[in-house]
Structure 1
């Protein structure tokens, strides 16, 4: 006995109907998804267009603010620094951390790298002004806005030329002032300085790392968060007895330790391979046992034939205490540099 439903929809027709409904539902779903995607893209396009319209509407009200144009009459570089250079050179040094003669010498060396051409719209900033702003920024860490009001140069201009001036100084002076010794005779001169100044023979450099605070990066946050509780990059340096830098490694992430950063440097590989040119071992004064030449570092560095570090502070003899005392004096050179 067939039911009314079986009479209206026989089994064969019912299967075909279900299949057709499923296909139609699938098509409708795909169409709905496509409509959603199209609507979303249209919405994004409208947002972009609205942003572009707002950007086009934001026209400059003035080409340059009038108080910036009075820089020659009231600017710090044109007025105050001229007075300090002529009347009070100690205060001039306090402003830029150097004497006027040294500033002029640096300006003479880098001016050809930082000089810009005048245009029909405006005159280029003087190289001396840009150098003074850069040195003041490096000396104090003042914000661009603060430098804007003292030197009467727009902050969005300062933020563009400070990296250029820094790179120009690096390109000009790296080969001249930062020379890492490569011969036994040059290393012996460095060791002579440590023996004379700090009574620590056979030392060819003090090594340490310095955390340079930076803003929180957008990516890789954990790589730059150091154990001191702020974001930083690391400056690893080797310094001689006169506080002069012999070698630097700049830009390592702040989460790394000084020893870990040192392990990835060319200096470490050169020391291990013997390519650095250290003198052969020689006896210390009033001794006959040959001792190699070495760097000095803190507890974070591994003890090596070419790396000396403090002894553990427990149960030390008088001689060991004297050794730790003299080594800590030598390490202060790099910390103060």
Structure 2
């Protein structure tokens, strides 16, 4: 535990740092635009269970919907599979939406404390839209958090939007998979108290980011993460063969505001326009 605590303390300021300036957020967004063709994106967000042995006298506190005991890791990932925000230690029975609702990230977003850039034009367009995180259907739709359209009775444009968002959001799924399969303590029950699991996890995130930056070819060899073939079909990464961190249960997110729905519709329209479309998207839906 001393080693894990030391790793975290030494590495966190350089290798588990949430952007704090407009320039740093723009750098994250540029990565998503260049690599995944998703503009004005602040990062991909998701939550995963870390299985633990039942803590003494904890009752159902850490008991999750899969009848296992766990703590939850909620994280934001950049376009290069690096963690730029993490909230770990929430009790396993909490849903994705519940984790987000209780997080300091949500509090900072609500109070406009992240120093996110103001709305800016989408590439090749005069339409200005706010910067936003991207998540799956478990998260609430907000001005600063885009999610897919509900997966029922989708029209053509909605299917295109969902494909484009899913393609960019794959970064967080792969980051969790790489983490668990390279630092394999996460693939089985961790026999420690929840507080110590938190320390181990934070140290692991720092090590993951450090190795992504300093020894990327060794830590993430070719085809270990998902890749796209010449036709942009997804080729599953090697990490998927050995298991992954289980997803957190979805919650019933509250009704979105009209402004958030309009923003998603504007992004959908952009992805259908000559400026925002990609040549292969029609083949993917």
TM-score, normalized by length of structure 2?
A: 0.60
The CA deviation at 1:317 is 2.3
The CA deviation at 1:223 is 1.4
Q: What residue number does 1:112 align with?
A: none
Match of 1:329 among 163, 167, 180: 167
Q: Matched residue of 1:194: which SS? A: helix
Q: What residue number does 2:132 align with?
A: 294
Structure 2, unaligned runs of 5 or more: 176-285
Distance 1:196 1:238, change over 3 A: same
Q: What residue number does 2:42 align with?
A: 204
Q: What residue number does 2:118 align with?
A: 280
1:269 aligns with 2:102: no
CA RMSD of aligned residues (A): 1.1
User: Aligned partners of 2:149, 2:67: CA distance in 1, in Å?
Assistant: 28
Which residues in structure 2 correspond to 1:47-126 (within 5 Å)? none
User: Aligned partners of 1:286, 1:274: CA distance in 2, in Å?
Assistant: 28
Which residues in structure 2 correspond to 1:249-260 (within 5 Å)? 249-260=87-98
The CA deviation at 1:229 is 2.2
Return the structure number with greater relative CO, CA threshold 8 A, min gap 6.
2
The CA deviation at 1:275 is 0.9
User: Aligned partners of 1:225, 1:177: CA distance in 2, in Å?
Assistant: 31
Deviations 1:197-230 (A, max 9, x none): 1110111100111100000121223111111221
The CA deviation at 1:265 is 1.6
Which residues in structure 2 correspond to 1:112-151 (within 5 Å)? none
Q: Matched residue of 1:222: which SS? A: coil
Q: What residue number does 1:248 align with?
A: 86
1:235 aligns with 2:73: yes
User: Aligned partners of 2:57, 2:146: CA distance in 1, in Å?
Assistant: 37
Match of 1:223 among 61, 64, 80: 61
Which residues in structure 2 correspond to 1:169-184 (within 5 Å)? 169-184=7-22
1:317 aligns with 2:166: no
The CA deviation at 1:312 is 1.2
User: Aligned partners of 1:283, 1:175: CA distance in 2, in Å?
Assistant: 32
TM-score, normalized by length of structure 1?
A: 0.51
Which ranges of 4 or more aligned residues in structure 1 deviate by more than 6 Å?
Answer: none
